[in-house]
Structure 1
Amino acid sequence: MNVAGRGAVVVGGGFIGSAAARALSADGWAVTQITRAGSAPALPNVDRVLIDHRSRAVLNHLAGAKVVVHATGEMLPAYVPDDFAAAYVEQVAPIITLAERAHQVGVGKMLFISSGGTVYGPKAAVPAHEESPTEPNNAYGFLKLQTEHALRFVTACTGMPTLSLRVANPYGPGQRTDRAFGFVSTVFERALRDEEVVIWGDGETTRDFLFIEDLGRAIAAAAAAAPASPVVNIGSGNEVSLNHICSLVEQVTGRRVRRIYQPPRSVDVPRSALAIERARAELSWKPQVTLEDGLRRMLEAR
């Protein structure tokens, strides 16, 4: 879709934020990427601004934008906060402030990158639909869900549309593997380095894995669309076990995955996969890269 001349602001300079900025730029948006990470590699045709999005200075860069994408955060799914009240204020309030500031300067829409792997919790049927029960069993999923609710209230109060994308587990070239996050990328890198991989449980835990370029395309599609729903699942639609990921990595790389099994963790959901019919219907989006092809692309990108 040709959206040349429209401005998009991406908050986040990490794996997902950069994928969003690349995809939006490729779709013809004039993209500004706001990040505190001065070490992040520059992207072609993307203006990068090194500021904290929580500061009032962000107003100068939101003005004139048609869409704002919030794709940053410091908390990981396995994180257990010592002070949950403080974590709530630190994680949720800045996003709501950003939305209110976006409305203040006339931004047309805000997209929030939520978590399809954690907001539904262990009781939801698989695959989880957007109307499935949401009972997260970890702080990460709970705070993502509370942010979604708060953004819907911002929409009710201001009229500015907000859309939460419940994203599956992204993977692909450039993902960090030093944060106990990103299972596919971690297994891939450690197999190539002949290092051990810790698996919590028996390896039959399942996840929905999405190639990063497919996620970027989904964000760009959501920026250009006018979906009727406040939340949309973004995933592959496939339920894949951790053991199967290890086997695929071995097939593609020709290296053995040295698996170390540890007792399961209470913060992990035993099964997870997303129903993606709404994304097809409202965003005209569907994933294009299979797990095997994604792993091959990772090998080629090294």
Structure 2
Amino acid sequence: MKSVIIGGAGFIGTNLAIHLARETDDQITIIDREDYYFDTLKSLNLPRITYKAAPFSIDADFDEQVKGQDVVYHLASTVIPGTSNQNVPAELEANIIVTAKLLDTCVRQEVKKVVFISSGGAVYGKKGTCPIPEDTVTYPISSYGIQKLAIEKLLYLYHYQENLDYRVIRLANPYGPYQRPNGRLGVVTTFVYKALTDGKLVVYGDGSVVRDFIYIEDAVRAINKIVNGNSDLRIFNLGSGKGTSVNELISDIKESIASELEVEHIATRAADVPVNYLDISRYEANYGKLNPLSLKDGILKTAQFMKETGMVK
């Protein structure tokens, strides 16, 4: 099978490419904006992977990007949740309109399946009761969530009109190897890095915010099962199925890798949903128990990766 990962040089794409290269026979193409984005993946010398630098933009040549591909993984996004309300019109154009052009091309090039990595937190907003199932009514409170949900609806439309098959993965909060610990995304990875370096953590609000954290290797393994499975369902939550507060996360880090931490609390963010964790029973009913790595074990594995790769000394 031939698979292309658009936006594939980031955290999720890198881990997905590693999994596909090691666990499948797929011919894999990784597409991202700049050649140097591929340096990490190229250093791993993985089999059956080619790389193309190309934009995700309104003037992109998507025919060239998806021609001959069986599966298109759509991981590209120009925004992150915490800053997504700063320029809403530009963000909608850069993500929704460009995705519509991509889907037009997928139909024209007879792509068999599109896989979209949506958000298990942002699309639901504040209205759901945790653990949140897939049929919960969606009320996003950020432009990021609106974009993800709009793309989900576009996929439904293209399936209805053009018979384009698709899968939507409403992913929780993945963490682990190859995620950048810069504080913009990935509180677990960022806090592990800070615990191993200066020991200073910055927390939005009082630390009571609850999230669903999933180790990235568990996530990509499950994504592969969904993509290759026989279920007629097209939208799947994917997380640990368990809620953990930021304060509990800090306690786990203290118990696992760094007993002394300095915690600074700053103003909460308007786009942050207070409590979010996912019902993963649909996934488990179709593909078996997920059995995700515990958060403490994931913290230890993330810390080990950072030490082995020289991110920390």
TM-score, normalised by the number of residues in structure 2: 0.90
2:226 is the counterpart of 1:231: no
Q: Is the 8 A contact 2:2 2:26 kept in 1?
A: yes
The equivalent residue for 2:293 is: 289
CA distance in 2, matches of 1:93, 1:107: 19
The equivalent residue for 1:248 is: 252
List aligned pairs for 1:34-113, cutoff 5 A.
34-39=31-36, 40=38, 41=40, 42=42, 43=44, 44-45=46-47, 46-54=49-57, 55-113=59-117
Residues 217, 122 of structure 1: alpha-carbon distance in 2 compared, 3 angstrom cutoff:
same
The equivalent residue for 2:311 is: none
The equivalent residue for 1:27 is: 24
Of residues 9, 33, 36 in structure 1, which corresponds to 2:4?
9
Following TM superposition, by how much is the alpha carbon of 1:57 offset from its aligned partner in structure 2, in angstroms?
Answer: 3.4
SS in 2 for 1:272: coil
Q: Is the 8 A contact 1:53 1:98 kept in 2?
A: no
CA distance in 1, matches of 2:294, 2:34: 31
TM-score, normalised by the number of residues in structure 1: 0.93
List aligned pairs for 1:208-223, cutoff 5 A.
208-223=212-227
Following TM superposition, by how much is the alpha carbon of 1:80 offset from its aligned partner in structure 2, in angstroms?
Answer: 4.1
Following TM superposition, by how much is the alpha carbon of 1:121 offset from its aligned partner in structure 2, in angstroms?
Answer: 0.7
Of residues 184, 192, 196 in structure 2, which corresponds to 1:180?
184
CA distance in 2, matches of 1:197, 1:254: 12
Moved more, 65-74 or 112-121: 65-74
1:247-289, CA deviations, whole angstroms, 9 ceiling, x for partnerless residues? Answer: 1111221342321112322211000100001112234461432
The equivalent residue for 1:3 is: none
CA distance in 2, matches of 1:116, 1:210: 11
Following TM superposition, by how much is the alpha carbon of 1:19 offset from its aligned partner in structure 2, in angstroms?
Answer: 1.4
What stretches of structure 1 of length at least 5 have no aligned partner? 1-5
SS in 1 for 2:237: strand
Instruction: Kindly report the root-mean-square deviation, in angstroms, between the aligned alpha carbons of the 2 structures.
Output: 1.7
User: Percentage identity across aligned positions?
Assistant: 29
Query: Paired residues, what number?
Result: 297
The equivalent residue for 2:126 is: 122
Following TM superposition, by how much is the alpha carbon of 1:56 offset from its aligned partner in structure 2, in angstroms?
Answer: 4.7
Residues 179, 243 of structure 1: alpha-carbon distance in 2 compared, 3 angstrom cutoff:
closer
Moved more, 107-116 or 242-251: 242-251
Residues 269, 82 of structure 1: alpha-carbon distance in 2 compared, 3 angstrom cutoff:
closer
Q: Is the 8 A contact 1:235 1:287 kept in 2?
A: no
Q: Is the 8 A contact 2:78 2:94 kept in 1?
A: no
Moved over 4 A (4+): none
Following TM superposition, by how much is the alpha carbon of 1:151 offset from its aligned partner in structure 2, in angstroms?
Answer: 1.3
What stretches of structure 2 of length at least 5 have no aligned partner? 308-313
Of residues 148, 155, 178 in structure 2, which corresponds to 1:151?
155
